[in-house]
Amino acid sequence: MSREPRGPNEKLGTVLALAGISNAGLARRVNDLGAQRGLTLRYDKTSVARWVSKGMVPQGAAPHLIAAAIGSKLGRPVPLHEIGLADADPAPEVGLAFPRDIGQAVRSATELYRLDLAGRRGGVGIWQSLAGSFSVSAYATPASRWLISPADSSVSREPKDAEDGAATASATSAATADALPPQRVGHSDVTKLREAAEDARRWDSKYGGGDWRSSMVPECLRVDAAPLLLGSYSDEVGRSLFGATAELTRLAGWMAFDTGQQEAAQRYYIQALRLARAAADVPLGGYVLASMSLQATYRGFADEGVDLAQAALERNRGLATARTMSFFRLVEARAQAKSGDGPACGAALKSAEGWLERSRAGDPDPSWLDFYSHERFAADAAECYRDLRLPRQVRRFTEQALARPTEEFVRSHGLRLVVSAVAELESGNLDAACAAGARAVEVANRISSARTTEYVRDLMRRLEAYRDEPRVAELREQARPLLVAPA
């Protein structure tokens, strides 16, 4: 549905011409973006003509999807006012700010946590309505501010500050549960958040970011973390509280990334980096930057992915453990490979392997890095060589990665099997490719991960040339639920 006409929308027409998008093309892009968010939209070229020539304004999330579609083509964010839709239902730029002031940082994070709930109560929350296209440029200010000053001078929060914060939360929240009285926060409160993060990490690795148990992380942020952030605490407790909340927020971003909700993931990552700065936890901030790098690389912005990974590295020299530095270098290698720079990728992999060899069992590695092992290094190295189209190296590292399959990291095992299948296919081994593909599909069918599904779909596209082969036809039938379901 659309609102009453108000005269031609010349701004929208001008920007469409600038982007080189036809009416039919815009309608198709908007429908596709809506489908990715679970919305069934049926706009066509006539709908777009009405938006432009008569100034009709579509309702719901559509204005933001229009901005996202045009922004994707232009390669930059497109605000609603630029396309003449500023008076549409506002989708606030929540979660994209990286405030310098610690009080504003708390408000920015808790606003994100509260808004996310709207979608879970049957409305249109951040997972759908905040549909501005993923913009890698949104990471520029957070990364630069974190590099300049990775820690706040003080984060203590006195009772009067907590009362003011609680009043603000109550005034801006639609849920009475958010209007909790301020409380004095202690170490035991922080411990509960850390335990929740550890439990969620295990579920995410085993069942994917879309599993219902993993999806409880945003609820934990709203119900448990937000009232603590708005409470009162000493500088020491505050640092620990911000660190634990940063871990949970980064994890919420990772789960959103894994389920294909890139815009939500970006907002969570930005807030996680700001919270890590408040915690004065430079390695954790580097881990968030590494997550940003992986997302940027996955979305096709490999050069920016390199920059983000190198930012994590540079600030952590002399601070992070050897294993942590190894992981940051590995993330850089992924971005270098995606950009097609073989020598730079090789150098980063060699450095990552060297750092990993120097790590020891007694090192004070952070708990959030417990997934990183020699097998994980081999798995990512295999993906690097896949992107560089070197199947022999892919096969070598994939064999190492699959040497010790574990039920603890089911999703990772599935991804490695797909990479193995691609390497076998590129080496001319169709039987082996189908065998690895069948095992990957079996994993993908029992977890909830859009990334794993997309890996399988990519494999099936590569097998299209062999579609008449009985083995491929059998694999396609096995993968059918993944091929027809929305990623």
**Overall average pLDDT of the 455-468 stretch:** 90
What is the per-residue pLDDT across 61-74, written as a single tens digit (0 to 9) for each? 788 788 888 888 88
Rounded to 5 degrees, what are φ and ψ at 53?
-80, -30
What integer pLDDT is reported at residue 311 of this predicted model? 96
What integer pLDDT is reported at residue 194 of this predicted model? 92
Q: How far apart are CA 422 and CA 420, in angstroms?
A: 5
Identity of the amino acid at 415? L
Helices (H), 152-261: 159-172, 187-207, 216-220, 226-229, 235-258
Rounded to 5 degrees, what are φ and ψ at 184?
-85, 120
477 in helix, strand or coil? helix
List 232's β-bridge partners, or say none. Answer: 184
Helices 302-316 and 140-148 cross at an angle (nearest 10°) of 10
- CB 182 within 8 Å of CB 230: yes
Between 442 and 86, name the one with better pLDDT. Answer: 442
Give residues with Cβ within 8 angstroms of 85, minimum separation 6.
9, 12, 57, 63, 66, 67
Q: How far apart are CA 258 and CA 298, in angstroms?
A: 11
| Listed range (323-327, 392-396, 402-406) with the worst mean pLDDT | 402-406
Between 42 and 102, name the one with better pLDDT. Answer: 102
> Mean pLDDT of all residues in the chain?
84
Compute CA distances 419 → 191, 278, 345, 398, whole Å.
38, 39, 18, 7
Closest CA to 294 of 255, 350, 254: 254
Tokens linked to 396: 């070598």
Q: Tell whether the model's pLDDT for residue 36 goes beyond 70.
A: no
What integer pLDDT is reported at residue 249 of this predicted model? 96
Closest CA to 450 of 286, 259, 192, 284: 259
58 in helix, strand or coil? strand
Query: Hey, where are the domains in the chain?
Result: 10-83, 97-135+154-278
What is the per-residue pLDDT across 121-156, written as a single tens digit (0 to 9) for each? 333 444 445 545 678 888 999 999 999 988 899 999
If you average pLDDT over each of 167-176, 181-190, 204-213, which comes out highest? 181-190
Tokens linked to 234: 């000493």
CB burial of residue 473 (10 Å; 0-12, 13-18, 19+) = middle
- CB 330 within 8 Å of CB 359: no
Structure-token match 């990512």, residue found = 380
Q: How far apart are CA 205 and CA 13, in angstroms?
A: 46
What is the per-residue pLDDT across 194-238, written as a single tens digit (0 to 9) for each? 998 888 888 777 666 555 455 688 888 988 999 999 999 999 999
Q: How far apart are CA 126 and CA 202, in angstroms?
A: 25
Structure-token match 């968030």, residue found = 288
Tokens linked to 463: 């097998």
- CB 233 within 8 Å of CB 185: yes
Identity of the amino acid at 19? A
Confidence of residue 37 (pLDDT cuts 50, 70, 90): low
Give residues with Cβ within 8 angstroms of 311, minimum separation 6.
143, 146, 147, 286, 289
Model-wide pTM > 0.75: yes
| Listed range (76-85, 454-463, 468-477) with the worst mean pLDDT | 76-85
